[in-house]
Amino acid sequence: MKSLWNDQEAAGFSGELGLRVYSSRLLGREPALVLHGGGNTSVKITETDLLGEEERILYVKGSGWDLESIDEPGFAPVRLDHLIALSRLPLLSDSEMVNELKTHTKRASAPTPSVEAILHAILPYRYVDHTHADAVVTITNTDDGAERVREVYGERVVIIPYVMPGFDLARLCAERFPAESGPHTEGMVLMNHGIFSFGESARESYERMIELVSRAEAYLERKRAWSLPAAEPVPAPDVAPEAIAALRRAVSEAAGAPMILHCAPEPEFLAFAQRADVAQISQRGPATPDHVIRTKRVPMLGRDVDAYVRDYRAYFRLHEPRSRARKTMLDPAPRVVLDPELGLCTVGRSPREAAIVQDIYRHTIGVILRAEALGGFRALPAQEIFEVEYWELEQAKLRRGGTPPAFAGEVALVTGAASGIGRACVESFRARGAAVVGLDLDPRVEALHPAPGYVGIPCDVTDPERVAAAFARAVREFGGVDLLVLNAGVFPASRSIAELPLEEWRRVMAVNLDANLEILRRAWPLLRLAPRRGRVVVVGSKNVPAPGPGAAAYSASKAALNQLARVAALEWGGDGITVNVVHPNAVFDTGIWTPEVLASRAAHYGLSVEEYKRRNVLGVEVTSRDVAELAAEMCGPVFAKTTGAQIPVDGGNERVI
């Protein structure tokens, strides 16, 4: 591991706190040191208060901040002398400790200080860095971990046995560190947890961390336990999308809420999931208690989807917590599923949560394999893991979680998503917490939303193979499809029936009708496995109840689609799937309504453009967002008992009314 310190970069940060920000970000850049909010840093600064009196302040990383992006407001300024006094108490509950940290923070708007604030306070160094370095955690997760740490570092570190973070750990360190440290001490190793480094400057503390971790990496390299052999490329097996959806449904049932399930069939994950001993080594516990993730190794159970669902339900019931208290506080569903055909499947209430779990478990696999090469992976005893998982501070965090968005954990698929009503639907469903898959012939659909909760797939919906591939990708990304919006369509130039070429008629039918039949056929097996039951919204048209001259192909195709939706509502009701239709009219912020076309149509009626846009009973303009919001609401709880409905969103059309 190399130091990333750059004097030119550092010069852009002023003062002790500024340099604390800079060196913290350097640590955060390296995933082998910290992941997703892990690790802690601090600096002790003497300041003058409003009364002109000097006081010593510990600036420690606040809860919710990530080292890679932290800034000065991310550090909580806590009165140092009070923290040191707290360390001398014989007992202090975690809730009392948090209260003391909050009430002795100097800035009211500051984040909640880290639970390790007292530990940082009692270490007699200006700068303190703490990481969960993969190499160090690997060494400590072996039977003879403490002896190996001494072999690596000698007198350069103090070794502290594992104690859960919080007051007890701080008090133990307050007792042992002064007695066991010496003139050569540069760091402290917390068994099964991580490593601390310290210094009188930000650079010294940071570079000590890099040097200490590098020594651990070199030790593992000498023992042939650092450089892992590259996983052999393994073709990802062709697993039916409905089988993955069945797994997701079983996990969601165990969790008590819809969950996102992301499948990663990368060679390293498939190789790990296919190991003969994976059922043993994956169940020994996490690399560090900071990364408590429930892991299950579950074999694929065949292609009979009903049997698949039944067997997974039985599996997860067997693994439910027996304690009623546990069951009410934390769902029993795994967050990692290892499958020999799917590789690594990660679970979360959102795509971001699932992505974080994947990052963490990628590093966990590395720690496990290296520890196995070193003599055998040995995590903390199950009771210690239980104490972390059901720690009162973790439970309080769960209780503070608040109400999740309406579609949290659910997956929406929208066709025609690159513009107009489709794009607005993507935004409306994402705003309600859904993961969204957008399909469109326009390749710009890929970059519509650069975020973990969106996948854009260029797709010609008239090509069954492309549609099948799009569904397969949607399911691997998020685990299934719960909400379907059929929006893709074409509106050809106005032609009388006498002038309508058969080729154009067939092209319109292929896009507006035949493609939607294929999409519905592909979607049904997934919608019936949706944790909250599937919901379909079809974007119809005013032309269904009130066609106009010159639009025979469009009107007929939309009318046929409307009938298809009604039949689907009848056939799929037994599966709990709702199918409803929204009929927009005169939505002018779409691709077909260019400024020139608008001006021409307005002039035809002797109206201004603004008057033409509001040519309806209510005298209002209907936008893509209006249609999208109605489509989203039709997938929500208000419409849970409505199917086969047709609802206009047109400002009131005299011919329809």
CA neighbor of 291 nearest in space, from 356, 195, 220: 356
- In this prediction, residue 329 carries a pLDDT of 39
Question: Quick check: helix, strand or coil at residue 376?
Answer: coil
User: Of 622, 423, 8, which is closest to residue 436 (Cα–Cα)?
Assistant: 423
For 595-628, what is each residue's pLDDT tens digit? Answer: 887 888 788 889 999 999 999 999 999 999 999 9
Q: How far apart are CA 177 and CA 189, in angstroms?
A: 11
Choosing from 206, 219, 554, 612, the catalytic residue is 554
* 554 assigned to active site: yes
d(CA 73, CA 154): 38
Q: Quick one: which of 488, 489, 480 has its CA closest to 535?
A: 480
- Tokens representing residue 295 in the block: 């892991």
For 227-234, which contacts have Cβ atoms below 8 Å and span 24 or more sequence positions?
Answer: 228/366, 228/369, 228/370, 230/267, 231/266, 231/267, 231/268, 231/270, 231/271, 231/272, 232/267, 232/271, 233/267, 234/267, 234/270, 234/271, 234/274
Strands of 445-568 (E only): list them: 454-458, 483-486, 535-539
Torsion of CA 141, 144, 145, 149, to 10 degrees: -160
Strand 260-264, strand 295-297: pairing = unpaired
Give the pairing type, strands 343-348 and 187-190. Answer: unpaired
Q: pTM, whole model, 2 decimals?
A: 0.88
pLDDT at 311: 46
- Residues 454 and 413: their CA atoms lie apart, in Å, by 10
3-state secondary structure of 24: helix
The two tokens of residue 478 are 């998020």
Give, to the nearest 10 degrees, the angle between helix 420-431 and helix 624-633.
50
Gap between the Cα atoms of 76 and 63, Å rounded: 9
Residue whose tokens read 């690159």: 418
Q: Which token pair is 564?
A: 């298809």
Amino acid occupying residue 157: V
133 vs 213: CA distance, rounded Å: 7
DSSP 484-512: EEE-----PPPB-GGG--HHHHHHHHIII
Query: How large is the C-alpha radius of gyration of the chain?
Result: 30
Q: Report strand pairing: 187-190 vs 194-199.
A: antiparallel
DSSP annotation of 330 reads S
Tokens of 262: 């992301």
Nearest CA-CA partner of 260 in 469, 434, 400: 434
Rounded CA-CA distance 571/582 in Å is 19
- The string of pLDDT tens digits covering residues 509-522 is 999 999 999 999 99
- 3-state SS record for 136-202: HHHHHCCCCHHHHHHHHHHHHEEEECCCCCCHHHHHHHHHHHHHHCCCCCCEEEECCCEEEEEECCH
Query: What was the pLDDT predicted at 384?
Result: 60
| Distance, CA of 581 to CA of 115 (rounded, Å) | 52
- Which residue stretches of 349-419 are H helix? 351-374, 382-389, 392-399
Helices vs. strands in the chain: H and E counts, helices first: 25, 18
Q: 592 in the Ramachandran plot: left (φ > 0), alpha (ψ -120 to 50) or beta?
A: alpha
The per-residue pLDDT for 125 is 96
Which of these, 327, 10, 41, 38, lies nearest to 193 by C-alpha position? 38
- What is the distance between the alpha carbons of residues 612 and 149, in angstroms, rounded to a whole number? 78
Furthest C-alpha separation in the chain: 98
Give the C-alpha separation, 383 to 370, whole Å: 24
Can you list the residues of the chain whose pLDDT is less than 70? Answer: 37, 233, 236, 289-332, 381-402
